[in-house]
Structure 1
Amino acid sequence: MPRSKALPAELDPSARQLAERLRLLKDHGELTMRQLAAKTGYSAKSWERYLGGTSLPPREAVEALARITGADPTPLFALHEIAADTWDTRRTRPAAPPPLTTRGRQGPDHEQEQGQGQGHEQEQGREQERGSEQEPSAEPRPGSAPVPTAPTGPPVTGAAPGRFSHIALTAGVAALAVALLAALLLLQRLDDDVAPAAVATPPRTTATSPQPSYTCHITRVDGRWSAGVNDGRDTEIFYGATGADVAEAQCLLRRAGISPGGIDGMFGPLTLRAVRTFQLRAGLTVDGMLGPRSWKALRG
């Protein structure tokens, strides 16, 4: 078995323990990712995320892995419930806006600080000029016009608009970053929810290739029931399989009084339900797979 990758360091302890338990069950059962996908209905890509600690597995996926490996699902459900609470909190927590780089701070802010310093020096110079103008001077002669003074000019107010523009720009960048993060989290959640449903869809044949037709010929040969479709083979089949072996099982299920749907050679949801019903009735392990014991009971 290939060695598993290390779990992320920032993973919550409950989620880490759950992922390690699931890895042990997979390794103990000597299951590959492809076998996990076929036996649980969840894709191999989804199981890589579940066992790698990058995505929290659904409760149904945990139950399916415990069922096919014969493990007790109760402690796994308890770990999953704790991990789900902390996982949702970690995923919905808004990320802080990225800090401005050193070069960015030395752009508008640096120029603004220089402008404010220059404006302050100019203001101090004008105050000194006003002080010198307000000193007592000789009174004007009677009848003479007052001597006009040179205008000092309006005070510099260019620093305030620049400051407001910078604040508005920073707030806009922060809001954009939060919106992008929320959109990414939503897309990832939708991908986790849709992936199992896409894998669980039974395979379809193309429109150009006609589906083979099967006919049940139930006979008893040497004390064993046969439908005459797959020459008496007892090949192990599971959900998603197609072909004559599936059609043989469908015929024998119908003979046992359990409807698998049509005799189309496709191991779909109806056939899966019929197999589980038969296994429950026969006292077998209800795993939805037709192995040697299930075939023996069908033909017996």
Structure 2
Amino acid sequence: MPRWKALPSSLDERVRNLVVQMRRLKDRSGLSLASLQIKTGYSSSSWERYLSGRALPPRKAVEELARVSGVDPARLLVLHEVAEEAWNQEPAAAPVADIPETQNARRRGVLIGVCTAVVVGVVLAGVLFAAPWKDGGDGKNSATAARHNSASASRGAFAYKAGKTYPCTVRRESGRLSAGYSDTRTALLSGPDWDVVEAQCLLGYHGFDPGGVDGVIGPKTTRAVKRLQQKAGLPPDGVVGTQTWQVLRK
């Protein structure tokens, strides 16, 4: 696994989440930047910019990364949608997304047509597969995740909508706090999803304002997590994992 350079501190948390997940997929695939160029039609220099947070990848590049990594692109595309919204809030600082560099126009047309068909097929079959980069990233925790997420499952798939927020009613159930959006105690948050909504509600309950409860890990949510972790004596990295969930559920 490559030793990734730290992402720019000025990078918006929503963009950071997308880049982190893309890095995980590349690591899992075992592909080099040169191999990604061959398999996706986007140059190795473009991938270097995407994975270092210096350029926002186009939606098609994100789809292609998911395809060559063998995962359902749906969750990654939601992260891209949220990241794109954040990126466009500062147009002066955001470079224009790169254009794929292919051998010729005909090859590009054929590639786009084939990839579109593949993506459509994968999306339709997506409910049959679990994203392997969720909850530890190796696909082995899918059964555990299913058991711990009956609350989110009963609500159906999370659909991010800009400006939409969710009400919070926190109760103690079986000795643990719950807002009723997710039962997880182990999920490594990447979002947007019901796990993030649950964490945001619990952060607010503990007195750490996450901003709007919208299911998205933004700067305010990350700051709230860091303050909670600092108070609990945990490393204040802003990442919600097993130890932070234990504090949130108390």
TM-score (norm 1): 0.35
TM-score (norm 2): 0.42
Higher helix share: 1
Q: Which has the larger radius of gyration?
A: 1
